[in-house]
Structure formats: structure tokens, C-alpha cells
Structure 1
């Protein structure tokens, strides 16, 4: 909403009064003296939306939407709504006479720049120059009804849910992302519009918070049957999630059944024999971590009754040792008369013991 056009009418009653007070019969520009003129129409060309001045039933002047006839711009902000709008800086709050509130959010490509001095920054930059984003998205904006409890937003369609979840993720609102993940579950291929929003989740791949890994796994689980490629490597995300499992928040916890379903999918690389194994991308240590977790979950969920059991037997594997020097097999044969290269000490810069003299008399 950075591009806005505001219009006023010369025959507006307030304009006429200002002209008469200024002694101008029908023209001129008295607003340099009298301040801002009343706004009759506001246009948002990028969104193809317009708002016009209209009086409501109580006699109050409001800016009503021409495209959504019963909605007008609201200036009321309760504490819960202010909290709910965090992370959506380009939103506009609308309301109708029944008190039903909606949030208008332009569909602009959001990015979260890295700030060295603020590693956990949630500052967003809206990239309106992203041509691919603009070409693929048919929707210029999304309209989110606000629940009557004013505690969360309602979504209409997969695109709007994906975009709202993307904004929540970039704002590091992991609990809300995890809660919303079920709303994007699908077993169909994504449309081009949905896909460009889904791929934008890689803007948050630099976030290695334990809850961020859990959110990516939850999203992957919900999108597993769609056949789409994830904007992150699932094996590495699963391994990092396992290593940080003890620090994952309670509202971002995957159930054992969900985690097992994910680890048993064909997207998980367990060893070098997997068709998707890439030595530049996958670490065998991570693969082993995931493999052992998979066996542990199978044993845990496969046991008919774990009550009273003090232990479970789980088959585990270990990663191969890294290749290093062969120092345990080094043999020192100097005692058998073998000569090795030795160091020569140069004691003088010039003279018989200088470096040049030593080289000249060196016999190899």
C-alpha cells in the first residue's frame, strides 16, 4: 500500500466554506492556509482497491470500501488485535456496522534481511520488484476475517493460508505456524500461485531455532502427499530437530506417530545407498542420527505395552570413522640404518656457516 492516491471534491461543503472564508469565489488553493482538505476518495492502484467517504447511520464520516461495500477502515485497536497483527506491517484493519472485523493484507513478497547486530530480528522488507512473484500471483491481496474472539485470523483457501503462515514464520511466531500447518494439508499438486508462496519459505531457512525445525517437519508432514519438493532438506531438518528435541516448546511437539511417519517417508536419506544421497548436502553423521531415531520410534511404538518396562532393545548403527593419518602403522627404521630427511641449522648470515655456503656444499 505504498502507492496511494487521495482525491477531494471542489464542491465539497467543507471546501466551499474554506473558499468563502479565504475570499476566493470559486477557485484558488486556500489549503496552504487552512490545512489538509477533506478526502473524498482514496485509490490503491497496485491492489485495484478504492475507498470513498460516506456517512454511516450514526452520522460519522468513514472511508468505505467500494469493492467490499459494507467494510470501512477502522481505527480501533484492542490489545489482542494489536498482538495478532504483529508481523504483518502492511495490513489494513476493516470493519462493518455489525462489528465484524477483517484484515486486508497485500500479497507482496516478504523477506527478512539479516541484521548482524540483531540475530533474532523479525524486521520485514517487502520486495515489490519480484517479477516472478507478481506474475504467478493472481491475487493482489488476501482478506482474513478475524475470529469473534479476536485471537486468530481465519483463512480462505490454500494460498491465503500459506501466505499468512509465511508471515508468521518470518516473524518467528512458531506456535502459530505449527497450529496453522494442518490448514495447508493437501494430497494434490500445488498451483503455480501456491507454489511460489510455498517456495518463499526458504527465506526463513537461516532460522535454526528448535521450534523452527519442528515447524518445518510439521509442514513437511502435511505436504508429504502433494509430491512437491520442499524448500529445505528434510533429512538435515530431521537430524537437527532430533539433536534439539529436548528444547522444542510444548506447543510445537510432534507426536511419536507423526515423527515416525515422516522418518519412514522416501524423502529421508538414511545412508549412502539412498537414491537421493548427495555427499555435498548430506552428512553421514546426520543420516545415522535419523536412522537411529527411526529404529527407536519403531521399537517404542511397536511394543504392545511399555508400562512396567525398564528398557527397550533398539538396533543402532554408528557413522563411519573419518579418514585421518595412518600414524598407528608408522614405522621408525632409523635403528636399522635407514636415513630420513633431517633439518639443517643455519647459524650465521654470512661466512662458512651461512645458508649459501651450506647449499653450495650440500651433497644431497
Structure 2
């Protein structure tokens, strides 16, 4: 890249011994690296899958999903052949479902453009759907030992303290400085271990709050530790205001089966299934919102027939409280022939066993779990 420092120039640009920094970091990583399933192989498919899952997801939480996903889709061809519903169901609970949809898109690109072999160059990896600068660097360096940096939130935090950056790390200028620092310090002979070591350091030692400076293998190189500012770094912009939302939805049955509908492309959570419902308007009760939303979305006049549960979920800065109800159709209408789709792409009537195969947003998934353990469900289905 233009203006990139040579290895010798980069080492001279730092106020400390760069080779000593690398040795300290890599020595620590060799002795302390966590045993994670995607670290047991250099298969680029495994590396790619893990990196996509780890976007916006805690490491410990991703392990189970990774193992289940890999069991069902052991290679790119099996993922490419999968239907969207099955992929989304395996992803259910991880959130940020665009990642799962991009996995399928990327699998198609690999099959069509690369003959099913995962691309080797950094540029080709960067071109895959859902792969940004950090993810491309992580995959290229870990899978192929390509000497490119990989700067995630953990690495940003490490460099904010290492350089004692007083400006917000989420500003473009600071981000560029961090990426340049990562490139300058990168071990060109062992990028695979170096990048993983930086991420591991940020995850285990250089924590967001109360960094464990006494246990840090590179503490002698850290300006923030020397100046006593480690806990004040990194500087970030104020967190966005939390928005709380109350919603209501209804579970309708017909001939022993439950009504579900598929969210439209372009909506929040596109392609996921749900029970009709929506946000409470000013002055509405959950029951009133249920009736209104069902009529608006399906054209069916319904009435509440008992509360199932109140479930809570989070989405970015939104905190959602959802009231789930059993409901029944009024006026003697047959719901299977009388409904219309005003806010969904598709609808189905499914059994309690079949519903387990469909992927729902987290709030609805929690409601499904409550529903399937509700002792009233059998009677509700029989009465339909």
C-alpha cells in the first residue's frame, strides 16, 4: 500500500524493541492460547465459518454453534446446497442473521468462481459477501499465514493502550492509525500466530474494564500502563440511548396446527418466521394491539384467548418486551381460507413438532419455547 513502511523502517519508528515485543507476545500466546475447535485445523472453510460467527458474538457462545453447523455442513458444497430455512434455523439465537444469509451467498460465489476451493488471496477473500477488512485479514493470515493485519475490537483496545490514544478509537483517523500500527508490528514470518495472539491478549488480559496489566506479557511496552491511563483507554463515543419497546403477538391454531408467517425481504429479520403482531401504539393495551395487528397483517378478526408468556429480548440498542397470547378467530371464519398476507411473504399452518424446524427472531423463539412447554397447548390445539 502507498506509504507502507519497510520492516526495518517500521522497527525504527517505534520507541521500543519491536522484535522483543513480538517474542514476548508470541511466547505468551504459545503458552496460553485457548483450545478452540477452529484452532485445531487450518482448513480455510473452518477459519471463515468461525470468523463470521465471531462477528458480534462472544467466543464461548460461538463454540456450540460452530460445532453444530460444521456437523451439518462439513464443506462448502453442502452449505451451498442448503436451503435458507435450514441455515437460519441452525443460526437461530446468534442474531445478526444477515451473517447467515451471507454465508450462503459466499458459498455460491466459491462454488461458481473458485470451483469449490476457498480463495487463497486476500483480495479474493475480501470480495466474498459478508467479509470486511478485519475478517479478510483474519482468514488470510490464519488459514494461509499471509502477512496482513487483522484489527478487531480486541486489537483496537490493545493498541489504544499500547499507544495511549486519547482520541476516540471509533473515529476514522484513529482507526487508520491503529491499522497502520498493526501492520508495522506484524511479524511477517508468523502472521498467523501474531494476529491470533493480539486478539487473544485483548480477550483474556487487555479487557475492556479492569485490564490485567500485571499479567500482560507486553506491559513493559505499553504507554498507558507507564502513564497510569490504562483504565481510561480506549476512549469511545457515548453509547446510544437504549430504546424500550412493548409488543404483542398472537398464536392462532386451526385443525391442530399453528399459524406462522415469514417476514418479508427488506424488513428487520427478513426470511425468519413469526407469529403476527407488532408494537403497542400510544394508550393501547397488549390485548388491543394484538387484535389490531392481526387484522392489519392477516385480515382476520381475532380475540385473545389467554396469555402464554411475556418474553424479553434485545436487538442492537432496542430492548423488547413481547406479550404472547393464544387467540381465536371470531365470526365463525375458517382461518385457513380467510387470511391474507399484508406484511409477510409466506404463511403456513404447522404442527407443534414441525414448528421446531423453523427459525424465529429471538423474542419469538423464546415464545415458541414457552408455548411448547405450556400445559394448555394440547387443549388449545384440540379445540381448534
TM-score, normalization: structure 1?
0.22
- Considering fraction of residues, name the structure with more helix: 2
Q: Which has the larger radius of gyration?
A: 1
TM-score, normalization: structure 2?
0.21
Q: Which has the higher contact order (CA 8 A, sep 6+)?
A: 2
